[in-house]
């Protein structure tokens, strides 16, 4: 009977500072010569970061910031992690024998489905039935090795989108954005420090007393959510660390019919290839959870926390402020808030790595990831920098609305306008950010005026190209001229300009 210990097996691919790639077991992550994870798929890399952060958070969490700093500067030994990880060993077994990592405690009945279904980009059941898998074909992945199966399973449970009737979304909803603190780009920081930056202190009263199903839900029968009871699991019913180990999908891999060959994901030869699994609907339905690695907004009616999800435009500077500092619309991830209050040297040398899927219901449209700068000045209660940045972003949103309106009036609207706008005004926005954080307070208002001029120049150029660049058009219609004049007039009437004029009074400088 096949069995693999996730804690003892060398299954995690890493790259060393000298460029060599090999596999390690989890406790070996403390090796100072390891640079990063070496997964071939970006979603697996993001999931593996969360797996290792979750493992550290669950078994080796510091009690306070002083303890966190002592490890940051003094290091962690492999023997310390081996001892800590033992607590989770019963939950980290992968194979046919139950309990098995991220799989339903109860044997599942039902038809087997292809192993490719663990990959979020795979065509769904209805797509296959309707024969509409035009772009990502069925059977593009037929069999995978156990190492890839572990990460595919974890990635699906962590990101699970809507999967049809009763197939529950992840603890954060379908396709949550994850935000991780990272050291300065192009610095020789070992992997373990990149992980430790995202482990937060836990008070003694919240620390795990028993490593049971309140932490790892596959250690006991699944709390199913069939109607009419439609049961949910709330944070009060479990340990806070279950946020890293959510299991919304009821899955059982087929370990009885393993084959030999090359893994269709990593390409490595294996005698234990897995080709099918069973699944059943109405798994765990999570409600009101807050994951420490994701930003949230709150439902205006119910106050329910809603994790920020991927969007078609990707991660753009419009989203930046809410990711790095709580504002009126978005509450940044808990790990970001805690980072600002650590007494680390050169806080400005860190950045935020954001990633996640953009889903259209069950369909994965894109994978996005990018880095955002962070500025400690944002936490200064005496500084107006946050309000000024909010104004700058509001200017951007309003200017885009005016451009859209003008283009619609001459029948030139296009869905690509929004994407191009945010992309092409991004570099000057970050240049503005740098200047705002470096210039003296009495010169910042003038930077905002400069930003408005940049936006005005951009939207007029886009409008002029759409309206007047047709060489076959001999006569320019008065409608287009009037629409251009209205665009300029409306820009000058923006409510934000009135705010700016108030701020720019001599007594405010």
Residue that terminates a domain, selected from 307, 327, 353: 307
Same domain, 84 and 202: yes
* Residue 156 covered by a domain: yes
Same domain, 265 and 387: no
* Residue 358 covered by a domain: no
Same domain, 189 and 70: yes
Same domain, 74 and 162: yes
Using the structure block, give the residue that is written with the tokens 């990502």: 136
Same domain, 298 and 395: no
Q: What separation in angstroms does the CA of 28 have from each of 8, 25, 78, 188? A: 10, 6, 6, 18
Please report the pLDDT score of residue 185 as a whole number: 77
The string of DSSP codes covering 323-371 is HHS--SS-BPPHHHHHHHTS--S-GGG-EEEEEEEEEETTEEEEEEEEE
Residue 497 has pLDDT above 80, yes or no: no
Residue 85 has pLDDT above 70, yes or no: yes
At 184-241, the pLDDT tens digits run 877 889 999 999 999 999 988 888 989 999 999 999 999 999 999 999 999 999 999 9
Contacts 24+ apart (CB under 8 A), 206-211: 206/239, 206/240, 207/61, 207/63, 208/58, 208/87, 208/239, 208/241, 211/58, 211/87, 211/88, 211/90, 211/91
Using the structure block, give the residue that is written with the tokens 């493992």: 55
Cα–Cα dist 429/463, whole Å: 21
* Residue 425 covered by a domain: yes
* Residue 12 covered by a domain: yes
Cα–Cα dist 426/41, whole Å: 27
Copy the structure tokens of residue 281: 């609907």
Domain count of the fold of the chain: 2
At 275-284, the pLDDT tens digits run 999 999 999 9
Q: 197 is in which domain, residue-wise?
A: 3-307
Q: Taking Cα atoms as reference points, which of 191, 216, 214, 183 lies closest to residue 94?
A: 216
Same domain, 73 and 156: yes
Please report the pLDDT score of residue 500 as a whole number: 61
At 103-153, the pLDDT tens digits run 999 999 978 999 999 998 876 555 555 444 433 555 679 999 999 999 999
Please report the pLDDT score of residue 314 as a whole number: 83
Q: Tell me the pLDDT band of 313, cut-offs 50, 70 and 90.
A: confident
Residue that terminates a domain, selected from 289, 307, 325: 307
Range with the largest mean pLDDT of 251-265, 296-310, 425-439: 251-265
Residue 384 has pLDDT above 90, yes or no: no
Please report the pLDDT score of residue 377 as a whole number: 83
Average pLDDT for 54-64: 97
Same domain, 283 and 423: no
Same domain, 133 and 264: yes
Q: Tell me the pLDDT band of 459, cut-offs 50, 70 and 90.
A: very high
Same domain, 386 and 237: no
Q: Tell me the pLDDT band of 440, cut-offs 50, 70 and 90.
A: confident
Residue that terminates a domain, selected from 275, 307, 339: 307
Q: Tell me the pLDDT band of 474, cut-offs 50, 70 and 90.
A: low
Please report the pLDDT score of residue 326 as a whole number: 82
Please report the pLDDT score of residue 503 as a whole number: 60
Same domain, 86 and 223: yes
CATH of the domain at 498: 1.10.132
* Residue 312 covered by a domain: no
**Cα Rg of the chain, angstroms:** 26
In percent, the amount of the chain with pLDDT more than 70 equals 92
DSSP state of 170: P
Average pLDDT for 308-333: 88
* Residue 242 covered by a domain: yes
* Residue 371 covered by a domain: no
Q: Taking Cα atoms as reference points, which of 26, 128, 134 lies closest to residue 83?
A: 26
* Residue 354 covered by a domain: no
Least confident window among 6-10, 34-38, 388-392: 388-392
What's the angle, vertex CA 404, arms to CA 399 and CA 408, rounded to 5? 150
At 226-277, the pLDDT tens digits run 999 999 999 999 999 999 999 999 999 999 999 999 999 999 999 999 999 9
Residue-averaged pLDDT of the chain: 90
Omega of the bond prior to 332 within 30 degrees of 0, cis? no
Please report the pLDDT score of residue 133 as a whole number: 45
Same domain, 28 and 150: yes
Same domain, 299 and 420: no
Q: What is the pTM of this model?
A: 0.92
């Amino acid at each position: 009977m096949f069995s693999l210990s996730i804690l003892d097996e060398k299954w995690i691919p890493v790259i060393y500072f000298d460029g060599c790639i090999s596999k390690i077991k989890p406790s070996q992550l403390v090796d100072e010569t390891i640079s990063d994870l070496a997964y071939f798929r970006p979603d697996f890399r993001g999931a593996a970061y969360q797996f290792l952060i979750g493992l550290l958070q669950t078994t080796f969490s510091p009690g306070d910031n002083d303890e966190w700093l002592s490890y940051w500067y003094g290091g962690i030994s492999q023997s310390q992690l081996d001892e800590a990880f033992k607590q989770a060993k019963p939950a980290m077994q992968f194979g046919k024998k139950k309990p098995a990592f991220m799989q339903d405690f109860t044997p599942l009945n039902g038809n087997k489905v292809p192993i490719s279904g663990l990959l979020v980009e795979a065509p769904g059941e209805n797509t296959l039935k309707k024969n509409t898998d035009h772009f990502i074909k069925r059977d593009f992945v037929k069999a995978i090795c156990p190492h890839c199966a572990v990460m595919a399973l974890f990635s699906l449970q962590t990101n699970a989108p809507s999967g049809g009737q009763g197939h529950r979304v992840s603890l954060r909803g379908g396709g949550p954005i994850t935000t991780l603190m990272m050291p300065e780009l192009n610095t020789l920081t070992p992997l373990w420090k990149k992980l430790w930056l995202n482990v937060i202190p836990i008070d003694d009263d919240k620390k795990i007393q028993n490593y049971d199903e309140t932490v790892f839900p596959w250690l006991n029968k699944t709390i199913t959510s069939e109607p009419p009871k439609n049961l949910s699991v709330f944070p009060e019913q479990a340990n806070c660390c279950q946020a890293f180990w959510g299991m919304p999908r009821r899955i059982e891999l087929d370990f009885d019919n393993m084959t030999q060959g090359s893994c269709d994901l990593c390409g490595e030869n294996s005698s234990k290839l897995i080709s099918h699994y069973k699944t059943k609907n109405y798994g765990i339905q999570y409600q009101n959870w807050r994951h420490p690695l994701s930003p949230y907004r709150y439902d205006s009616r119910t106050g329910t926390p809603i994790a920020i999800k991927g969007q078609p435009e990707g991660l753009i500077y419009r989203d930046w402020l809410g990711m790095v500092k709580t504002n009126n619309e978005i509450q940044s991830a808990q790990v970001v808030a805690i980072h600002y209050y650590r007494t680390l040297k050169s806080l400005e040398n860190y950045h935020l790595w954001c990633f996640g899927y953009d889903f259209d219901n069950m369909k994965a449209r894109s994978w996005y990831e990018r880095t955002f700068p962070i500025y400690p000045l944002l936490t200064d209660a005496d500084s107006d920098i946050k309000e000024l940045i909010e104004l700058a972003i509001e200017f951007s949103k309003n200017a885009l609305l005016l451009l859209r309106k003008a283009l619609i009036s001459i029948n030139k609207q296009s869905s690509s306008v929004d994407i191009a706008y945010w992309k092409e005004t991004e570099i000057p926005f970050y240049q503005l950010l740098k200047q705002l954080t470096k210039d003296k307070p009495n010169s910042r208002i003038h930077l905002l005026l400069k930003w408005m001029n940049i936006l005005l120049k951009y939207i007029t150029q886009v409008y002029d190209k759409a309206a007047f660049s047709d060489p076959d058009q001999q006569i320019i219609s008065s409608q287009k001229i009037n629409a251009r004049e209205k665009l300029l007039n409306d820009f000058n009437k923006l409510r934000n300009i009135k705010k700016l004029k108030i701020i720019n009074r001599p007594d405010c400088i």
